[in-house]
Structure 1
Amino acid sequence: MSDAQWALIEPLLPSVGEQGGRPFRNNRQVVEGIVYRYRVGVPWRDVPAEFGSWQTIWKRHRRYAGDGTWDTILAARLANADANGLVDWTVSVDSTICRAHQHARTSRGTQGDLSNYTNLRTEPTDHALGRSRGGLGTKIHQLSDGKGWPLVLLIGPGQAGDSPVFPLLMKELSVPRLGLGRPRTRPEAVLGDKAYSLKVNRTLLRTRGIEAVIAEPDEEKRNRLRRGSRGGRPVRFDAEKYKGRNVVERSFCTLKQWRALATPYDKLALTYRAGVMLSAVCTCSGSLPPRRHALVLHR
């Protein structure tokens, strides 16, 4: 990590454990050890000794995964960006599958409970692992702004569909404001591919006054035309604005440069998602300016 990145992250990191005690030593060294492990994709025991004891690195990562440290830091960085007018609120939604390594979680995977997608603080029973045609894997669902910065990141089993997770992504979208005011939860428009073209999703966006730029599948078009006047009007679709949806795809390309995220090795979904959030924090901290105002988030 660069000195500029660390200067943005360090004030938001906890200095002691949940039960108090002695302050953490070499916090930057440990965090960089976590980053190294996920970027290179080595076992925890093989993290170079220059980063300190691998047991310390693992325990610190597990602690930050459980208390939501990286979620808090990402929210603070996005709040600062929004205050400076840097967040593009024409957001894009998509998901990507990450095939699990044979040494990863050993659960066979089930359809999964959607309640496990939100506020992941305890380990789900399916370990966010599911079997699809390509084998066992985990899906990363993301809402990104118009520049590709991640706004919401959720994980779930690999065989689960994209559309059922969309309301949960919208529910989790909450960017705090610096100073007074409620968090911003409503984007100007949502760009999505044909997988999100369900009536329930379009209704959700319409009731909240959000423009839906979602491609309509050919099957839905044929069904609507076949029913004639009962099929309703064609959905509004801004083809020019839809061209900006590729930012979420490019965001996944950046995320998957971290080898341990592209191929999950973690046995716990909790720690794997923490690695995903850490990648998002590094991405935003490398792109955003220093904080304009101090932000205090109650944990």
Structure 2
Amino acid sequence: MPRQGGPRALLELLLPSSGGLRGRKFRNSRRVIEGMLYRLRTGGPWRDLPAHFGPWKTVWKRHRRYAGDGTWDRVLTALVAMVDAGGDLDWAVSVDSTVVRVHQHGANAARTQGDLPNYKNLRDEPADHAIGRSRGGLTSKIHLACDGHGRPLSVLAGPGQAGDSPMFANLLEGISVPRLGGGGARIRPDEVRADKAYSSKANRELLRSKSIKAVIPEKSDQVANRKRKGSEGGRPPSFDAESYKGRNVVERAFNKAKQYRGVATRYDKLVMTYRAGFMLAGIVEWLKLLGDTP
């Protein structure tokens, strides 16, 4: 899959050229994107962007626009589709979450505590801005589904104290890879690897209904409860221990993303802009793959 001009030129092709039908054409897209990446890497305030990236408000407004209108989601989907068309996408998907501390600069927006918000529309900003209180203080949580090489396919954000299992269905729903050769988008991985936090009857039934292989170990209390029931407890769910060894790619994906200080600590008031930063870090990984293709 040759890409003339390299990965940065490819990214510029995928970005919108203007702010809408009546909007002015965007200029200096490459410089603006580099400004976003600089801020993500350093974690500094937008106002402190070096002058050679242009006006800081331009960079910030473009990032917020792309976060709110779903641009980064569309770019990620397009890149994944390109890789899949070349046969380089590993459909052994791993899922997990990671907790990030919310810096005081990101925690001073008005918010209300309530039930876990509905994240089906990823561009909706929840009332609590996905900031929760846990033992570590104010925290947020990123939920990630990645391919067998640790590259992101679906990204959700929620409050730090929320459990992983309730987000599982929405995380899988976010996996949709268009087929460039025609036909419907692929939405079903070959298998899903997850740790014991996702070992629930509902999650296993969801995967079974979609004919997706579940590589999820049982919790100890679930094993004990099944054995206590004897023959009525049924047979243990199948578990591929060899395949499960590959689940660590999602842990490595988090480690790589958190090399960006703006991902490792949440400085953003809005969860949609924080999530967009995580998406941008993931997009860079896909661009590296496409840029290395001769």
Q: Could you state the TM-score of these two structures normalised by the residue count of structure 1? A: 0.93
TM-superposed CA distance for 1:108, in Å, is 6.0
* Corresponding residue for residue 110 of structure 1: 113
- Of 236, 245, 251, 2:253 maps to 251
Distance 1:51 1:118 in 2: 35
What one-letter code is carried by the residue in structure 2 that aligns with 1:284? W
Q: Could you state the TM-score of these two structures normalised by the residue count of structure 2? A: 0.94
* Corresponding residue for residue 238 of structure 1: 240
Distance 1:225 1:16 in 2: 62
The answer as to whether partners of 2:41 and 2:260 remain within 8 angstroms in 1 is yes
Distance 2:112 2:288 in 1: 36
- How many residues matched? 289
The answer as to whether partners of 1:162 and 1:195 remain within 8 angstroms in 2 is yes
Question: What is the Cα-based RMSD across aligned positions, in Å?
Answer: 1.6
Residue 32 (str. 1) matches residue 41 (str. 2): no
Distance 1:222 1:178 in 2: 48
Question: Which structure 2 residue ranges, 5 or more long, are not aligned?
Answer: none
* Corresponding residue for residue 178 of structure 1: 180
* Residue correspondence of structure 1 range 144-159 to structure 2 within 5 A: 144-159=146-161
Distance 2:169 2:132 in 1: 21
Residue 49 (str. 1) matches residue 39 (str. 2): no
* Corresponding residue for residue 210 of structure 1: 212
Bigger CA drift: 154-163 or 21-30? Answer: 21-30
Deviations 1:11-57 (A, max 9, x none): 11111112433321211101110110011000000011010110111
Deviations 1:109-160 (A, max 9, x none): 6354341x23322321010111111111111001001011100000011111
Distance 2:89 2:291 in 1: 12
Distance 1:207 1:56 in 2: 47
Distance 1:18 1:111 in 2: 35
Bigger CA drift: 119-128 or 144-153? Answer: 119-128
Percent of aligned positions that are identical:
58
TM-superposed CA distance for 1:188, in Å, is 0.6
Question: Which structure 1 residue ranges, 5 or more long, are not aligned?
Answer: 293-299
Distance 1:21 1:199 in 2: 50
* Corresponding residue for residue 297 of structure 1: none
Distance 2:225 2:112 in 1: 35
* Corresponding residue for residue 168 of structure 1: 170
Bigger CA drift: 32-41 or 17-26? Answer: 17-26
* Corresponding residue for residue 91 of structure 1: 93
Deviations 1:212-256 (A, max 9, x none): 000111111111111111111111111111000000000000110
